[in-house]
Amino acid sequence: MIENIFPKIHKEGYKFLAISIILTFFAWLFSGILFFVLLVITIWVYYFFRDPDRVSIEDDSFLVSPADGLITQILETDGPKELNLNNEKFTKISVFMNVFNCHVNRIPTAGKIEEIYYKPGKFLNASLDKASEENERNYFKLKSKKNNEEIIIVQIAGLIARRIVCEVEQGQDLKQGDRIGMIRFGSRVDIYFKNKKVLAKLGQNVVAGESLIASE
Protein backbone atom coordinates (compact mmCIF):
# COMPACT_ATOMS: atom_id res chain seq x y z
CA MET A 1 0.00 0.00 0.00
CA ILE A 2 2.80 2.41 0.97
CA GLU A 3 4.67 1.62 -2.26
CA ASN A 4 1.58 2.63 -4.25
CA ILE A 5 1.70 6.08 -2.64
CA PHE A 6 5.49 6.41 -2.36
CA PRO A 7 7.06 4.17 -5.03
CA LYS A 8 10.79 3.57 -5.03
CA ILE A 9 12.83 5.76 -7.35
CA HIS A 10 15.34 4.84 -10.03
CA LYS A 11 19.00 5.21 -9.08
CA GLU A 12 19.37 7.82 -11.84
CA GLY A 13 17.22 10.10 -9.71
CA TYR A 14 19.28 9.95 -6.50
CA LYS A 15 21.54 12.87 -7.41
CA PHE A 16 18.71 15.11 -8.65
CA LEU A 17 16.54 14.38 -5.62
CA ALA A 18 19.42 15.03 -3.19
CA ILE A 19 20.17 18.40 -4.83
CA SER A 20 16.48 19.37 -4.76
CA ILE A 21 16.14 18.45 -1.08
CA ILE A 22 19.25 20.43 -0.10
CA LEU A 23 18.14 23.52 -2.03
CA THR A 24 14.64 23.24 -0.57
CA PHE A 25 16.06 23.05 2.96
CA PHE A 26 18.13 26.22 2.53
CA ALA A 27 15.17 27.98 0.91
CA TRP A 28 13.08 27.11 3.98
CA LEU A 29 15.61 29.01 6.10
CA PHE A 30 15.50 32.19 4.03
CA SER A 31 12.39 32.49 1.84
CA GLY A 32 8.90 31.09 2.17
CA ILE A 33 8.00 31.64 -1.48
CA LEU A 34 11.22 30.11 -2.78
CA PHE A 35 10.76 27.20 -0.35
CA PHE A 36 7.31 26.49 -1.78
CA VAL A 37 8.59 26.63 -5.37
CA LEU A 38 11.51 24.30 -4.65
CA LEU A 39 9.28 21.96 -2.66
CA VAL A 40 7.05 21.54 -5.71
CA ILE A 41 10.14 20.90 -7.86
CA THR A 42 11.43 18.33 -5.36
CA ILE A 43 8.11 16.47 -5.40
CA TRP A 44 8.16 16.51 -9.21
CA VAL A 45 11.75 15.15 -9.31
CA TYR A 46 10.72 12.31 -7.00
CA TYR A 47 7.64 11.64 -9.13
CA PHE A 48 9.59 11.75 -12.40
CA PHE A 49 12.18 9.18 -11.29
CA ARG A 50 9.66 6.81 -9.74
CA ASP A 51 10.26 3.16 -10.56
CA PRO A 52 7.15 1.24 -9.50
CA ASP A 53 6.87 -2.52 -9.75
CA ARG A 54 4.70 -3.72 -12.61
CA VAL A 55 2.82 -6.99 -13.06
CA SER A 56 3.02 -8.40 -16.59
CA ILE A 57 0.59 -10.88 -18.05
CA GLU A 58 3.39 -13.49 -18.32
CA ASP A 59 1.98 -14.74 -21.60
CA ASP A 60 4.37 -14.41 -24.52
CA SER A 61 1.52 -14.65 -27.01
CA PHE A 62 1.18 -10.94 -26.24
CA LEU A 63 3.51 -7.96 -26.41
CA VAL A 64 3.30 -5.53 -23.52
CA SER A 65 4.15 -1.86 -23.93
CA PRO A 66 7.86 -1.05 -23.50
CA ALA A 67 7.06 2.39 -22.07
CA ASP A 68 4.50 4.49 -20.24
CA GLY A 69 2.94 7.16 -22.41
CA LEU A 70 0.79 7.97 -25.41
CA ILE A 71 0.57 5.87 -28.60
CA THR A 72 1.43 8.41 -31.29
CA GLN A 73 2.12 6.20 -34.30
CA ILE A 74 1.16 2.78 -35.66
CA LEU A 75 2.33 1.90 -39.16
CA GLU A 76 3.92 -0.64 -41.47
CA THR A 77 7.50 0.34 -42.28
CA ASP A 78 11.02 -0.87 -42.99
CA GLY A 79 13.13 -2.08 -40.11
CA PRO A 80 15.94 0.09 -38.71
CA LYS A 81 18.85 0.42 -41.12
CA GLU A 82 21.19 0.65 -38.12
CA LEU A 83 20.52 -3.05 -37.52
CA ASN A 84 20.59 -3.92 -41.25
CA LEU A 85 16.85 -4.60 -41.23
CA ASN A 86 15.83 -1.89 -43.71
CA ASN A 87 14.92 -4.52 -46.34
CA GLU A 88 12.38 -6.18 -44.06
CA LYS A 89 8.86 -5.01 -43.25
CA PHE A 90 7.76 -4.50 -39.66
CA THR A 91 4.84 -3.07 -37.73
CA LYS A 92 6.05 -0.09 -35.72
CA ILE A 93 4.37 1.39 -32.65
CA SER A 94 5.66 4.62 -31.10
CA VAL A 95 5.06 5.54 -27.44
CA PHE A 96 5.70 9.18 -26.50
CA MET A 97 6.63 9.84 -22.87
CA ASN A 98 6.00 13.32 -21.50
CA VAL A 99 7.73 14.71 -18.42
CA PHE A 100 4.98 13.36 -16.14
CA ASN A 101 5.23 9.74 -17.30
CA CYS A 102 7.34 7.09 -15.62
CA HIS A 103 10.45 6.82 -17.83
CA VAL A 104 11.59 3.29 -16.98
CA ASN A 105 11.45 1.07 -20.07
CA ARG A 106 10.61 -2.64 -20.11
CA ILE A 107 10.95 -5.68 -22.37
CA PRO A 108 7.71 -6.53 -24.27
CA THR A 109 8.14 -10.32 -24.26
CA ALA A 110 10.54 -12.93 -22.91
CA GLY A 111 13.67 -13.45 -24.98
CA LYS A 112 17.40 -12.89 -25.42
CA ILE A 113 19.08 -9.58 -26.24
CA GLU A 114 20.98 -10.39 -29.44
CA GLU A 115 22.33 -6.92 -30.15
CA ILE A 116 22.53 -3.45 -28.60
CA TYR A 117 23.50 -0.50 -30.76
CA TYR A 118 23.91 3.08 -29.56
CA LYS A 119 23.62 5.92 -32.10
CA PRO A 120 24.65 9.49 -31.11
CA GLY A 121 22.44 12.23 -32.51
CA LYS A 122 20.43 15.39 -32.00
CA PHE A 123 17.84 16.27 -29.35
CA LEU A 124 14.77 17.22 -31.39
CA ASN A 125 11.21 16.98 -30.10
CA ALA A 126 10.70 13.21 -29.75
CA SER A 127 7.12 13.45 -31.04
CA LEU A 128 8.39 14.41 -34.52
CA ASP A 129 8.77 11.68 -37.15
CA LYS A 130 12.35 12.68 -37.96
CA ALA A 131 13.39 12.10 -34.34
CA SER A 132 13.68 8.38 -35.14
CA GLU A 133 16.29 9.22 -37.78
CA GLU A 134 18.15 12.17 -36.25
CA ASN A 135 17.98 11.97 -32.45
CA GLU A 136 20.28 10.13 -30.10
CA ARG A 137 18.93 6.60 -29.71
CA ASN A 138 19.65 3.12 -28.44
CA TYR A 139 18.57 -0.06 -30.25
CA PHE A 140 17.81 -3.48 -28.75
CA LYS A 141 17.39 -6.52 -31.00
CA LEU A 142 15.46 -9.15 -29.08
CA LYS A 143 14.96 -12.78 -30.15
CA SER A 144 11.68 -13.85 -28.61
CA LYS A 145 11.69 -17.00 -26.49
CA LYS A 146 8.35 -18.21 -27.82
CA ASN A 147 9.01 -18.33 -31.57
CA ASN A 148 12.51 -16.83 -32.15
CA GLU A 149 11.07 -13.78 -33.92
CA GLU A 150 13.04 -10.56 -33.99
CA ILE A 151 11.58 -7.68 -31.98
CA ILE A 152 13.29 -4.30 -31.98
CA ILE A 153 13.00 -1.73 -29.19
CA VAL A 154 14.42 1.76 -29.75
CA GLN A 155 14.96 4.31 -26.99
CA ILE A 156 14.91 7.81 -28.53
CA ALA A 157 16.13 10.90 -26.68
CA GLY A 158 13.94 13.99 -26.78
CA LEU A 159 14.14 17.77 -26.66
CA ILE A 160 14.85 17.82 -22.93
CA ALA A 161 16.14 14.26 -22.48
CA ARG A 162 19.92 14.20 -22.52
CA ARG A 163 20.71 10.76 -21.25
CA ILE A 164 19.64 7.30 -22.39
CA VAL A 165 20.30 4.67 -19.74
CA CYS A 166 20.79 1.03 -20.80
CA GLU A 167 20.61 -1.54 -18.00
CA VAL A 168 20.96 -4.81 -19.89
CA GLU A 169 23.75 -6.52 -21.83
CA GLN A 170 24.02 -8.35 -25.13
CA GLY A 171 23.29 -12.05 -24.65
CA GLN A 172 21.15 -11.47 -21.56
CA ASP A 173 17.94 -13.48 -21.13
CA LEU A 174 14.95 -11.46 -19.96
CA LYS A 175 11.40 -12.12 -18.84
CA GLN A 176 8.38 -10.21 -20.08
CA GLY A 177 8.22 -6.87 -18.29
CA ASP A 178 11.83 -6.83 -17.09
CA ARG A 179 13.48 -3.41 -16.94
CA ILE A 180 15.87 -2.54 -19.77
CA GLY A 181 16.69 1.09 -18.92
CA MET A 182 15.24 4.57 -18.89
CA ILE A 183 15.40 7.94 -20.66
CA ARG A 184 15.58 11.13 -18.64
CA PHE A 185 13.12 14.03 -19.07
CA GLY A 186 10.72 13.35 -21.93
CA SER A 187 11.34 11.05 -24.86
CA ARG A 188 10.00 8.21 -27.03
CA VAL A 189 10.23 4.44 -27.42
CA ASP A 190 9.56 2.63 -30.71
CA ILE A 191 8.88 -1.08 -31.02
CA TYR A 192 9.13 -3.06 -34.28
CA PHE A 193 7.60 -6.53 -34.72
CA LYS A 194 6.14 -8.94 -37.30
CA ASN A 195 3.29 -11.44 -37.56
CA LYS A 196 1.16 -10.04 -34.78
CA LYS A 197 -2.23 -8.38 -34.48
CA VAL A 198 -2.07 -4.82 -33.18
CA LEU A 199 -4.20 -4.28 -30.08
CA ALA A 200 -3.10 -0.72 -29.29
CA LYS A 201 -4.98 2.31 -30.61
CA LEU A 202 -3.70 5.72 -31.65
CA GLY A 203 -4.10 8.15 -28.78
CA GLN A 204 -4.21 5.38 -26.18
CA ASN A 205 -2.33 5.83 -22.91
CA VAL A 206 -0.31 2.73 -22.07
CA VAL A 207 1.60 1.42 -19.06
CA ALA A 208 5.02 -0.19 -19.47
CA GLY A 209 5.08 -3.90 -18.72
CA GLU A 210 1.30 -4.17 -18.37
CA SER A 211 -0.68 -2.73 -21.31
CA LEU A 212 -1.17 -5.22 -24.15
CA ILE A 213 -0.22 -3.71 -27.51
CA ALA A 214 -0.12 -6.78 -29.83
CA SER A 215 -0.99 -10.48 -29.90
CA GLU A 216 -0.47 -13.54 -32.08
- pLDDT for 141-182, tens place per residue? 999 998 889 999 999 987 665 678 888 999 999 999 999 998
Residues 91 and 33 in one domain: no
72 domain-assigned: yes
56 domain-assigned: no
Q: Residue 72 in 3-state DSSP? A: strand
Residue 96 has pLDDT above 80, yes or no: yes
Catalytic residue list contains 187: yes
Are 67 and 97 in contact, with CB atoms under 8 Å apart? yes
Catalytic annotation, pick one of 132, 187, 211, 215 = 187
Residues 82 and 9 in one domain: no
Q: Residue 198: its pLDDT value, please?
A: 96
Domain extent at residue 17: 2-48
- Report pTM: 0.83
Residue 206 φ/ψ, nearest 5 degrees: -125, 160
Q: Rounded to whole angstroms, how far apart are CA atoms 21 and 29?
A: 13
Residues 108 and 135 in one domain: yes
Domain with residue 102: its CATH number is: 2.70.70.10
- What's the structural domain count of the chain? 2
Residues 26 and 86 in one domain: no
Residue 16 has pLDDT above 80, yes or no: no
Residues 35 and 82 in one domain: no
| DSSP class of 29 | H
β-pair type (212-215, 150-157):
unpaired
158 domain-assigned: yes
